[in-house]
Structure 1
Amino acid sequence: MKRPSLAFYSSSIFFIIWEIFARILNLKFVLPWPTAILKKIWELRGPLFKYHMFATLEIALVSIFLSFALGIFLAVIMDKSKKVEEAIYPIIVTTQTIPIPAIAPIFILWFGYSLWSKVLVAVLIAFFPITINLHDGLKSTKKDYIELFKSMHASEWDIFWKLKVPSIVPYFFSSLKMSIPLVLIGAAIGEWLGATAGLGYFSKRMMTQLDGAGVFAPIVLISVIAVLFVNLISFLEKKFLKWRGN
């Protein structure tokens, strides 16, 4: 029988301390204890699981697809041209200095409460680590291998597909694990600032009712979804990249 991991023990200790401290503080509308949050999730399971969770997941799935499409495009064109890299790299970095709560209302002004206003917020948050990670992956291709391919009269296309693409597969999985929590956070922020459905919207609605456990319930659900998806990607990574070992 496999023994529980260190992460299990540390998480258990954290939640036990949280439970005790929150009960002593006894300000449930400010800091509800974990068991109260779990009880609230069960009480609100209808709207949370049947409606709001799927609204957030829809935004996250569209956002992660667009983030990777943009990230792959930018990484490839920067790898192909040093001048392009020097031109757009500072712009990519600058996008991360934009305060999301300040720019999100502009997206809502452009697109209203539609899916796309939330997607743009999530993409703005998630595309940066994807771009940088994949760009580093392309740059990590050993120059000796590139020279070997060139000596065999391989075309640029062959070098890219047969050498560089395989070299970025580990970086692709790392980017995926990094981007999943980010798109969920971006989706929740977008919903918090302007939406009619979603876990972020639901948390904001509970806040107006001074329901502390209700505010935390969607947040905990987002965290659980992120952990499950990251663990799934880690499992797939081990299956696809067995050559890397443990």
Structure 2
Amino acid sequence: MARTGKAEWGVRLRRRDVLVPLATAALVLVAWQLVVVFGIVPNFLLPSPTQVVSAIVEDAGLLAQHSASTVVEALLGLVIGVVVGSLVAVAMDRFEGVALALRPLVTVSQTIPTIAIAPLLVLWFGYGLLPKVVLVIISTFFPITVSLYAGLSSVDSDLIDLMRTMGASRWQIFWQAKMPAALDQFFSGLRISATYAIVGAVIAEWLGGFAGLGVYMTRVRKSFSYDRMFAVIVLISVLSLALMGLVDLIQHIAMPWKRAEGNSNHD
């Protein structure tokens, strides 16, 4: 009976976690619609949610094509950014001199706005795929580097000393002690990078390109089609949430002990 009661309580909590955000989003949309309908904000400045949905439906095919280009740029840049950031973090953890040398450079790399770098990348690499991918890499590698380095550095030194006394190699210490302890922080950084990836690709597309949501937004802005501009904003949010969901799925697969902890909490 006690276990059944805990299970029912867990189901109620999960339902609340879903229903409360959905209800809040619905209230925001209703308020937005009423603000436009009653003329509190002029319709030509702020389209209603129904107009935004209508714009998405009308331009569904075109938006799908541009979204595909943006997703390809974002995924390529994100994957390369994760690889580069992980290698830098591992090197910083392994060699103290590398950490001392690269830590200031990694921090400084994030003080330069991406909107300021994008025009230079277009001038250097043209209007093709490369400048978009490079900008996404610049945008995404920092959260990965910082989070993974912090996770690797946070491993209990007593555990490492114990493994050394038992004859474990550096490779075994890294894979069996450091990486499992650092994965939680790594995936936290990866979620942030996933949101930066789509935004970085769109920013690069604003300044030059042949396809992508940024290119589409630039074109509709010139015709003052605010409903279509809001449609792009909605799509950017949806794509970012989808990438974050993919990260959560990968974390679920990569960290089975977290699943075990969650199951034990529900029992």
TM-score range for the pair, normalised by the shorter chain length: over 0.9
What TM-score, normalized to structure 2?
A: 0.86
Q: Is the aligned partner of 1:192 residue 2:206?
A: yes
Distance 2:245 2:36 in 1: 29
> Unaligned regions of 5+ residues in structure 1, if any?
none
The one-letter code of the counterpart of 1:6 is V
How far did 1:154 drift?
1.4
Whether the 8 Å contact between 1:28 and 1:212 is mirrored in structure 2 is no
Determine which of 206, 227, 230 is the counterpart of 2:241.
227
1:97-246 map, 5 Å: 97-244=111-258, 245-246=261-262
Whether the 8 Å contact between 1:203 and 1:216 is mirrored in structure 2 is no
Match of 2:58 in 1: 43
Distance 1:167 1:32 in 2: 48
Distance 2:219 2:113 in 1: 23
Distance 1:30 1:182 in 2: 27
Structure 1 or 2, whichever has the larger Rg, is: 2
> Unaligned regions of 5+ residues in structure 2, if any?
1-10, 263-267
The one-letter code of the counterpart of 1:149 is M
The one-letter code of the counterpart of 1:82 is E
Whether the 8 Å contact between 2:89 and 2:149 is mirrored in structure 1 is yes
Match of 2:73 in 1: 59
Distance 2:235 2:197 in 1: 14
How far did 1:22 drift?
3.0
The one-letter code of the counterpart of 2:56 is I
Structure 1 residues 22, 94: CA separation in 2 closer, same or farther (over 3 Å shift)? farther
Distance 2:255 2:24 in 1: 29
- Cα RMSD between the aligned structures? 1.7
Determine which of 42, 47, 50 is the counterpart of 1:32.
47
What TM-score, normalized to structure 1?
A: 0.93
Aligned-pair identity in percent equals 36
Distance 2:58 2:155 in 1: 52
The count of corresponding residues between Structure 1 and Structure 2 is: 245
How far did 1:169 drift?
2.1
Distance 2:61 2:91 in 1: 46
